[in-house]
Structure 1
Amino acid sequence: MDGKACVLLLVPAGALGGINLLSFTTTDRFKGIRELPPGWHFVFASSTNSLSVRHGAWFRVRGGGAAADGSGPPELFIKKWDRETEELVAETDTAEALRWRANLGAVWRDGLTPYRQSASKDADDEGDKELDWRRLTDRVGEPLLDRVLGAERRRDHWCLTSASSAARDMDDIPGLPREQSAFQPEKELCLLPVDLKRTWRPGVTGRERTEAAQDRSWALGDLLERYCGGDEAQLLGEMQFAFLMVLTLNNNSCLEQWKRILTLLLTCKKAVVRRAGLYVSFLQLLKLQLQHCQDAEGMLFDLSDEGGAMLKKLLRKFRKGLEELEGKEKSDVVDELDELEDFLKEEFGWQLDDSFVRRGMLELEDGERVEMDVGTRFDEDDETGDFAPMVVELTEEQARSLGVTTGSVERGEQAEQQGKKLAKPESGIADVEVQEESEDEVDLEDMDARY
C-alpha cells in the first residue's frame, strides 16, 4: 500500500463513476481507485447512468518524494458525493480526511479497485489505452487549468460539470439577470476567444480584408500572441481539454470550442509554413482524438456521412490550401495529413479527394435511366459568417443617392432619351423595327458604359 496513490470516490451504489477513459457503475463496496500512475487524471461521477449532470475534477499525481520509493504514505485524493446538492465535492473537513487516511488499509483490497483504462483483460489493450491517455493530456497543465477553470481551486482539484459553459455559449433568458436565475449558477469556463467572424486586423479594407477572411493565419497568430503568450502548446492543450470534457462529461460548450479550434487551424494557409511544427502536432492529435470519438455518448462526435460533413469540408479546403503553398516546410504537414486521411478512409469510408464522377447515368429502381450532375459546389471556396461578402441589389433611388449608375437606371434613361428622338411610325411593322433597333442601340451603349 505504501507509496501508491489513490483517489476515494465516495458515491452511492448504482451511480456512474469514471476515471480518464474508463467509466463504470459503482457497487456498495466501491470506495475508489488505487495504484494511480504519475501524471494528470480526471475523475467524474453522476447520480445515475442516464443523461444527468456529470461532475468531474482534474488532479495530478506527483509520484515523487517518499511516496514514490514506498517509504511514505500514499498520495490521497478524496472526492465525495453531496446527496443534498447532488454534486461531487472535495472533502474539506480535515478530521474526516485524516480518518479516511487512517482507515485506508481496511478498504485497500476490497473497497479500492486497481487502476485500469480498459474493461478488457488483454494486457496489450490496457497498455494502449494508458499510452493514449498520456498522449491525450501531454499538453494539459496547471497554467491551462488555472486559466480555464480559475486559479481559486479547492486544494489540488480543478472542478467542472457537464453544464459548465463559456459565456459565449450560455443561453440567457432576455430580461432576466443571470444572478436571479432559479438554477444554481454553473462554473464559467474561460476558454480562448476564438473569433471566426472577424479574422483581419483592425482598420484594414479591400483586398487585405478579403484575404484575411479566406486565410485566417493573422487571426491564429493574434490569438496565440495575445492570449497564449506565443505558446502554441496552450492552444493544443485547450483542444485536448475540450475534447476530453466532451468524451467524459458530454459538455456542449467544450464541443463548440473544439469545433472552433479545428475550424481556425484548418482554414489557415500562410500559418502552415510559418508554424509547421504546430500543424504536425495538431494533425497527430486530431487523428488520435478521432480514434476515440466513438467512445462519446449521444453521437456527439458523429463521423457518419452526414455528421462528418463539417470536418470533411474543412479537410478538403485545407488540402487545397496546401497545394497552393510552396516550400519544404509543408512536406511534414502533408505527410501527417495523408496519414489522417488514410485513417478516415479505412475506418469510416471517407473519400476526401475530388476524384469522383461528377456527371453520369443513374439507373432508378424502375429501370429508367437519368443523367445526374453533382455540379461544382465542392469546388466553391465559399465564406460563411456575419462578415462574409454579400451581393445586394440597389434600387434606383439608392443608386442615385450613392452616385452609382446601375444598368437598369442607365438603360431606362437612355431608352427615354432615344424615344424622344424617334418619330412615331406610320405602320405596325415599322413600329416593331424601330423598337428593336432602339433596344439594340441601348444594349450596345449600356455594354460600352459597363465595359
Structure 2
Amino acid sequence: MAAVDMDPDVARRLFEEGATLVLLGVPQGTELGIDYKSWQVGPRFRGVKMVPPGLHFLHYCAVNNPSCGGEIGPKKGLFLTLKPREIVLATWDPQEEDLNFSDSQNEEEVSRTRDNLRELDPFLGPYPYEIMRKWVSLTDRLTQELVSELQPLSGRICAFADVIPELQLKHTKDRAEQNLPRNDKACQSMKEGLDKLPKMKQREGTELRFSHIPSQTYPPGATPAQVTQCSLDLSYALETVLNKHYKLQPLNVLGELQFAFVCFLIGDVYEGFEHWKCLLALLCRSEEAMRARKDLYLGLIAVLYHQLGEVPPDFFVDIVSQNNFLTSTLQDFFQCTNAPGIDSTLRKRAEKFKAYLVKKFRWDFDADLEDCAPVVVELPEGVTVD
C-alpha cells in the first residue's frame, strides 16, 4: 500500500481520531481492500490506519501460491462501523481463508495492541482518503442497523453462494428411493444429464436478506380493471414492500438500493445487481407513489446520480438484445414525473437529472414507445399456429 499525499490538517485529524484495522497473518499476494480501493498485500502488511470513523466495507480474495502466479479465490467482505480511535483486530485463518475477528472481543488483546501501535505503525498502510468522498456518496443512506438486517447472518458477503445438496444421497439406493436417475448410466440428452446433478440450496445463514418484492402487483380480489392498473402503476406493490419492511422509515429503501449496488459493484455479488434492478424498476414505475412520497423520489434521484457515475455507459446493455434495461426503466420514471399532480420540485429535479444522463451517456429517453410494441403478423388464410 503506497502512501497518499494528504492535506496535513486532514492527516493530523485522522491520525488522532481515525480507527485502526490490525490484520495479522494475511498471506502475501492476497487482494485486500477497503471501500472503493484494493491492493495486493505485501510481506510487511499488518493492517490499515487512519480510517475515518463510520461505515466501511472490508473485502479480500485469497490467492493460491501467489509466488507462482496462483489463482485468485472468490471475494469475501463485511461491513464495519468504526468509532473514533477504535482498534479492530483480526487474524487470518488459513484453513477457512478468511479473517477471524474474535480477538476484537478480547479487551486485554486490544489494550496490548494499542500499547504497541508505535511499533506496528511502519507496517500499517494509510486509509486511501482520496476515495472517501466517493464512498460516502454511495452509502450516505446506509446505516449499520440496516446493514445488519440485510447482510447474511454469517456476517460475510460472498461473491459465490455457499451451496450444499438439498438431500444427502450418498448411495445408489438413496437415489432410487427419490426416483432419481443412476449416475452409472450414460446420458442420452442434456436434460437427463442435468437431472442427474444434485439439487442444491444455499447454506443456511449465508443468504442476503433483501426485501421480498411481490410477484403479484395487485391486491387480492382485484377486478380486471384493477389488475391492469396495478400492472401499469406499481405503487400498490411498492407500498406493500414499504409497509412490510420500512413502515416507520420508508426512505430506508434507498439504503437497501445502495446496499445492493455496493454488494455488486465492490463485492462482485451478482445477486446484488439483480435485486438492484428489481427494486429500481419498482420505484421508477410507481406513479401514484411519486405523488404521495416526494422526499423518497428526490432521494432516489440523488442516489442514482452517484451510482450511475461509477459505471461505464454500455454497462447496462444486454449483449444479445442490445436492450438497455436502465434506459427503458428511467424512461418510465421520467414519464411519471411529468404526470399531473407531481410536485413541481420533483419534476424540475427529474428534468435536470434527465438532461445530465442524456449528456453523459447519450441515452435517448424520448424515443417513441410504440417502436417497442409487439408486431402483429397477419397469417395467410387457413394457416394456424399451434
Aligning the two structures, in what range does the TM-score lie when normalised by the shorter sequence?
0.7 to 0.9
CA 1:162–1:223: 2 relative to 1, 3 Å: same
Give a deviation string over 1:139-171, Cα, whole Å, max 9, x none: 211321221136x77xxxx43222358xxxxx8
Q: State how far apart, in whole Å, the 1-side matches of 2:323 and 2:250 are.
A: 26
What is the TM-score with the length of structure 2 in the denominator?
0.74
- Name the SS of the counterpart of 1:286 in structure 2: helix
Q: Which residue number corresponds to residue 276 of structure 1? A: 294
**Counterparts in 2 of 1:202 and 1:185: CA distance versus 1, 3 Å:** closer
Residues in 2 aligned to 1:184 and 1:218: alpha-carbon distance in whole angstroms: 33
The Cα RMSD (Å) is 3.2
Distance 1:339 1:8, change over 3 A: farther
Contact in 2 for aligned 1:200/1:209 (Cα 8 Å): yes
- Tell me if structure 1 keeps the 8 A contact 2:301–2:353: yes
Structure with higher RCO (Cα < 8 A, 6+ apart): 2
Aligned to 2:370: 376
* Residue 191 of structure 1, CA deviation: 0.8
Per-residue deviation, residues 108-141 of structure 1 (Å, max 9, x unmatched): 1x21111114xxxxxxxx2xx4223222222211
Distance 2:240 2:311 in 1: 30
Please say if 1:101 is aligned against 2:98. no
Question: What is the identity, as a one-letter code, of the residue corresponding to 1:81?
Answer: W
Residue 213 of structure 2 corresponds to which residue in structure 1? 194
3-state SS in 2 of match to 1:232: coil
Distance in 2 separating the partners of 1:271 and 1:54 = 37
- Say if 2:271 is the partner of 1:253: yes
Please list, as runs of the form range in 1=range in 2, the aligned pairs for 1:12-51 lying within 5 A after superposition.
Answer: 12-48=27-63
Q: Where does residue 319 of structure 1 map in the other structure?
A: 334
> Is this contact kept in 2: 1:5–1:35, CA < 8 A?
yes
2:96 to 78, 85, 103: 85
Pick aligned residue for 1:114 from 104, 126, 135: 126
Residue in structure 2 matched with residue 60 of structure 1 by the alignment: 81
Q: Tell me the secondary structure at the aligned position of residue 35 of structure 1.
A: strand
SS in 1 for 2:38: strand
| CA distance, structure 2, for counterparts of residue 266 and residue 344 of structure 1 | 15
SS of the residue corresponding to residue 43 of structure 2 reads coil
Distance 2:34 2:209 in 1: 24
Distance 1:339 1:27 in 2: 46
What is the identity, as a one-letter code, of the residue corresponding to 1:26? V
Query: Between Structure 1 and Structure 2, whose CA radius of gyration is higher?
Result: 1
Aligned-residue offset at 1:207? 0.3
Q: Which deviates the most, 41-50 or 302-311?
A: 302-311
Structure 2 CA distance for partners of 1:313 and 1:238, relative to 1, 3 Å: same
Q: 1:219 to 1:50 in 2, by over 3 A?
A: farther
Aligned 1:126-275 pairs, distance under 5 A: 126=130, 129-149=131-151, 158-164=155-161, 187-195=206-214, 197-275=215-293
Residues 1:89 and 1:343: Cα distance change in structure 2 (over 3 Å): farther
In structure 2, do the counterparts of structure 1 residues 199 and 176 end up closer, same or farther at CA, with 3 Å as the change threshold? farther
Matches of 2:120 and 2:218, distance apart in 1: 59
Task: For 1:217 and 1:206, locate their aligned partners in 2 and report how far apart those are by CA, in whole Å.
Answer: 17
Distance in 2 between the 1:43 and 1:62 partners?
15
Structure 1 pair 84–328 and aligned structure 2 pair: CA distance change class (3 A): closer
Q: Is the 8 A contact 1:55 1:88 kept in 2?
A: no
Amino acid across the alignment from 1:53:
P
Over residues 284-329 of structure 1, what are the superposed CA-to-partner deviations in whole Å (9 max), with x where a residue is unaligned? Answer: 11111011124xxxx9x81458566111111122223333x21251
Q: Secondary structure in 1 aligned to 2:160?
A: coil
Identical aligned residues as a percent: 25
Contact 2:76–2:159 under 8 Å retained in 1: yes
Cα distance change on mapping 1:317 and 1:100 into 2, 3 Å = same
Seen in structure 2, the aligned counterparts of structure 1 residues 311 and 4 have a Cα distance that, compared at 3 Å, is closer
Q: 1:347: Cα distance to partner?
A: 2.6
Provide the secondary structure at the position in 2 that maps to 1:318: helix
Q: Is the 8 A contact 2:159 2:268 kept in 1?
A: yes
How much has 1:97 moved relative to structure 2?
4.5
**97 and 269 in structure 1: CA distance in 2 versus 1, 3 angstrom threshold:** same
Partners of 2:201 and 2:262 in 1: CA distance: 29
Q: Is the 8 A contact 2:291 2:341 kept in 1?
A: yes
Q: Which runs of 4+ in 1 moved over 4 A?
A: 95-99, 171-177, 179-186, 304-308
Consecutive unaligned residues of structure 1, counting only runs of 5 or more, are 64-73, 118-125, 166-170, 356-374, 383-407, 409-451
> Equivalent residue for 1:8?
22
Displacement of 1:209 in angstroms is 1.3
User: Does the 8 Å CA contact 1:164/1:253 hold for their aligned counterparts?
Assistant: no
The correspondence of residues 331-350 of structure 1 with structure 2, limited to 5 A, is 331-350=344-363
Conservation of the 8 A alpha-carbon contact between 1:164 and 1:186: no
Matches of 2:44 and 2:74, distance apart in 1: 24
- Structure 1 contact 42–56 (Cα < 8 Å) conserved: yes
Contact 1:34–1:112 (CA under 8 A) maintained in structure 2: yes
Counterpart Cα distance in 2 of 1:308 and 1:280: 27
Which whole-Å CA distance do the structure 2 matches of 1:51 and 1:349 have between them?
36
